[in-house]
């Protein structure tokens, strides 16, 4: 089983839709969680950190469920510019700083 | 502030050749790492370093060497290039050596091995 797994998609949604991505992780000792965004052939960029209590940044909401070992990203009112690949990242507590990436979920927002 | 600088942007090698991918950061980050990205595989960790003089292996270290003689630089060496090493390589750094802070990525190196 991979350490971090995501639904690869692609998710094809119309503008204005709400879309949610899930990411599961296998190491229960994981300590830090992030969502990154990657545009085609570019480097990944931090979208948001994920905090235990859940957090929101504009149209984006991130949630963490430690009991079930998953994190989620909700995008409301999708824009064309949200089209990208979304990467889930997990830092295991007991692996000295390694950050493990999921394989990414592709989102395509259509007019 | 340049952030994380990777060179070269593109490279074509023949099988068996060696080369070094350069990575430098000017943010005084302790943590630096190398990833490769292949279609459908996501980013896979090759090697990482939590400070000068300290390196460790990631998920896919075979065929690659690293060293960290300074805080700023973290070069990745391909010892004898193979077609399986055709990929996009990203260098990344972060403030926290425990991995609790976000990564800053370089622009990537697109490597083709023929």
State the smallest CA–CA distance between residue A10 and chain B in angstroms.
12
Q: In the structure, what pLDDT confidence band is assigned to residue B99 with cuts at 50, 70 and 90?
A: low
Under an 8 A CB cutoff, do B105 and A100 touch?
A: no
A7-13 mean pLDDT? 90
Whether residue A54 contacts residue A62, with contact meaning beta carbons closer than 8 Å, is answered with: yes
Of A89, A97, A104, the CB nearest to B50: A97
Whether residue B20 contacts residue B69, with contact meaning beta carbons closer than 8 Å, is answered with: no
> For residue B18, is pLDDT > 70?
yes
Whether residue A62 contacts residue A87, with contact meaning beta carbons closer than 8 Å, is answered with: no
d(CA A21, CA B50): 31
Q: Quick check: B100 contacting A, CB < 8 Å?
A: yes
Mean pLDDT over the full length of chain A: 91
> Which pLDDT tens digit goes with each residue over B59-85?
899 999 999 999 999 999 999 999 999
Q: Lowest-confidence range among A21-30, A58-67, A75-84?
A: A21-30
Under an 8 A CB cutoff, do B98 and A103 touch?
A: no
Give phi and psi for B12, each to the nearest 5.
Answer: -120, 130
Nearest to B42 by CA among A51, A36, A11, A71: A36
Q: Quick check: B31 contacting A, CB < 8 Å?
A: yes
Q: Lowest-confidence range among A3-7, A55-59, B13-17, B95-99?
A: B95-99
**Cα A105 off chain centre by:** 8
Whether residue A72 contacts residue A63, with contact meaning beta carbons closer than 8 Å, is answered with: yes
Whether residue B41 contacts residue B21, with contact meaning beta carbons closer than 8 Å, is answered with: no
State the smallest CA–CA distance between residue B80 and chain A in angstroms.
26
Q: Quick check: B53 contacting A, CB < 8 Å?
A: no
> Which pLDDT tens digit goes with each residue over B27-54?
999 999 999 999 877 899 999 998 999 9
Under an 8 A CB cutoff, do A43 and B103 touch?
A: no
A39-46 mean pLDDT? 91
Highest mean pLDDT: which range of A8-12, A92-96, B69-73: B69-73
CA distances from B73 to B5, B24, B30, B36, B56 (A): 10, 4, 11, 18, 15
Task: Give A108 or B98, the one with higher predicted confidence.
Answer: A108
Under an 8 A CB cutoff, do A46 and B43 touch?
A: no
A18-40 mean pLDDT? 91
Q: In the structure, what pLDDT confidence band is assigned to residue A96 with cuts at 50, 70 and 90?
A: low
Task: Supply the pLDDT for residue B2.
Answer: 80
Angle (CA) B36-A68-A109 rounded to 5° is: 55
């Amino acid at each position: 089983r991979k350490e971090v797994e995501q639904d690869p998609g692609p998710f094809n949604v119309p503008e204005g839709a709400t879309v949610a991505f899930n990411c599961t992780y296998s190491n229960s000792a994981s300590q830090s969680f992030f969502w990154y965004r990657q545009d085609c052939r570019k480097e990944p960029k931090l979208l948001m950190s994920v905090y235990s209590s859940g957090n929101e940044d504009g149209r984006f909401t991130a949630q963490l469920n430690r009991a079930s070992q998953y994190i989620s990203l909700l995008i409301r009112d999708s824009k064309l510019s949200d089209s990208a690949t979304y990467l889930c990242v997990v830092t295991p507590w007991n692996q000295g700083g390694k950050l493990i990436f999921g394989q990414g979920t592709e989102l395509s927002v259509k007019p | 502030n340049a952030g994380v600088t990777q060179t070269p942007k593109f490279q074509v090698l023949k099988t068996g050749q060696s080369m070094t991918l350069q990575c430098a950061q000017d943010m005084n980050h302790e943590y630096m790492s190398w990833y490769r990205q292949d279609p459908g595989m996501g980013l896979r960790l090759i090697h990482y370093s939590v400070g000068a003089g300290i390196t460790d292996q990631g998920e896919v270290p075979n065929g690659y060497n690293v060293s960290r003689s300074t805080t700023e630089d973290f070069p990745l060496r391909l010892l004898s290039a193979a077609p399986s090493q055709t990929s996009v390589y990203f260098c990344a750094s972060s403030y926290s050596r425990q991995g609790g802070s976000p990564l800053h990525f370089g622009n990537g190196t697109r490597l083709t091995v023929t």
